[in-house]
Amino acid sequence: MKVNNKHYRTIWMEGETIRIINQPLLPHKFEILNINNLEELKRAINDMQIRGAGAIGAAAGYGLAQAALKAKDENFFETVISAADEIKHTRPTAQNLFTIINRMLSGIIDKEQNPGDTRKALKAEAERYADYDANACKMIGKFGAELIKDGAKVSTHCNAGWLAFVDWGSALSPVYYAVNEQKKNVFVYVDETRPRCQGSRLTAWELVQEKIPHAIIADNVTGALMWKGEIDLVIVGADRIAANGDVANKIGTYSSAVVAKENGIPFYVAAPSSTIDPDCESGGSIPIEERNQDETLYMFGMDDKGDLSRVRISPAESSALNLGFDVTPAEYIKGIITEKGIFPASKEGISTILRGNHNG
């Protein structure tokens, strides 16, 4: 991805320092944040300085590699295993975090090995995962672009663009591919995505960078546009995909999927295969994060003087319920766009993805 004509990833490592794009400051301020230790890494994931399934996965991988690089030889394995456990407790829904940490724990951490070799192997695995994520998202773009006709109006929810991954993004990658590589005209309807407004803050900012025409709409506008025939296609991301094709994604996705089906609009989910949880039989067993109610009761933004501040938008006496995600049952999903091709959202489709075959 390019910001002011310079190529960036959302996260990378320089020496023992992890560097990320500081997302809560967008779209007002573009800032790179340094992460120097496990506490800072956990805070960055919890507070959504880095967010989005793929980016969280990459942060987890780099975070564990950093913990290993800093751990002393004497208690090396205890320190690294406890760091893995702490990282696993940052956010519960995005499967990518568990995919990479479990792979590092079962494939690399071996108490028979010496700390020096383990440090190198963990760092290499974190880099490999980040490259996998970026390449998989590019392939999602290539496969998904075939679904987008010239002149199409595409609806998306939350941010599943490059900020949510290491590069390219999932749901927005087909749009970028269709516009930049295939020279198609595409218009994007961006759901605002309350309460954290990943759509109006992050997706819209990305689309400005990419010079792609778009309109931000309040979440409750989507249905009306679908009914009026203003939306040709919906593509959203995923935080976890169950073995039967049910999908957990940002809260509000389910409503969009149901109204899309009612209006005969194809609804696709785009995600790398690292988002699939084969141990989760169906959407009902996906853990859904409940976040701090302040995210709903307050808004953060820039005033007319250019100052960033947080304001309360609800009665001081009110409390809020803030569910981070919902589950869209497989029957509402026309297909899952992965790095291996486009597959049905079904038990068979998911096992084909996991077997490595593809229809692309």
**How many helices and strands (H and E) does the chain possess?**
12, 18
Torsion of Cα atoms, 318 then 323 then 329 then 334, to 10°: 100
Catalytic residue among 133, 167, 219, 239: 239
- Cβ burial of 233 (10 Å; 0-12, 13-18, 19+) is buried
Residue 269 CB neighbours (<10 A): 29
The single residue among 63, 141, 174, 324 that binds ligand MRU, judged by CB under 6 A, is: 324
Binding-site size for ligand MRU (CB under 6 A) equals: 16
Is 52 one of the binding residues for ligand MRU (CB under 6 A)? yes
Question: In the bound complex, what is the minimum distance in angstroms from residue 52's beta carbon to ligand MRU?
Answer: 4
Is 158 one of the binding residues for ligand MRU (CB under 6 A)? yes
User: Which stretch, 156-164, 173-181, 224-232, 340-348, contacts ligand MRU (CB under 6 A)?
Assistant: 156-164
Question: In the bound complex, what is the minimum distance in angstroms from residue 237's beta carbon to ligand MRU?
Answer: 3
Q: Which is nearer to ligand MRU, 239 or 246 (CB)?
A: 239
Q: Which residue number is nearest to ligand MRU in terms of Cβ?
A: 237
228's tokens: 């009026």
**Can 85 be counted among the known catalytic residues?**
no
262's tokens: 């009612």
Is 170 one of the binding residues for ligand MRU (CB under 6 A)? yes
Asked whether 147 and 268 are in contact (CB, 8 A), the reply is yes
* Largest Cα–Cα separation, the chain: 66
Distance CA 88, CA 20 (A): 19
Q: Which is nearer to ligand MRU, 53 or 68 (CB)?
A: 53
Q: Which is nearer to ligand MRU, 41 or 108 (CB)?
A: 41
Residue 315 CB neighbours (<10 A): 8
End-to-end CA distance of the chain: 24
User: Which positions ≥6 away from 78 have C-beta within 8 Å?
Assistant: none
Is 160 one of the binding residues for ligand MRU (CB under 6 A)? yes
Q: What is the CA radius of gyration of the chain?
A: 20
Find where tokens 């792609």 sit.
Answer: 212
Distance CA 145, CA 12 (A): 27
Is 239 one of the binding residues for ligand MRU (CB under 6 A)? yes
Is 159 one of the binding residues for ligand MRU (CB under 6 A)? yes
* Site mask for ligand MRU (CB under 6 A), range 243-272, x = bound: ------xx----------------------
The single residue among 53, 80, 166, 286 that binds ligand MRU, judged by CB under 6 A, is: 53
Question: In the bound complex, what is the minimum distance in angstroms from residue 54's beta carbon to ligand MRU?
Answer: 6
The set of catalytic residues is: 239
- Binding stretches for ligand MRU (CB under 6 A): 51-53, 158-160, 164, 170, 198, 236-239, 249-250, 324
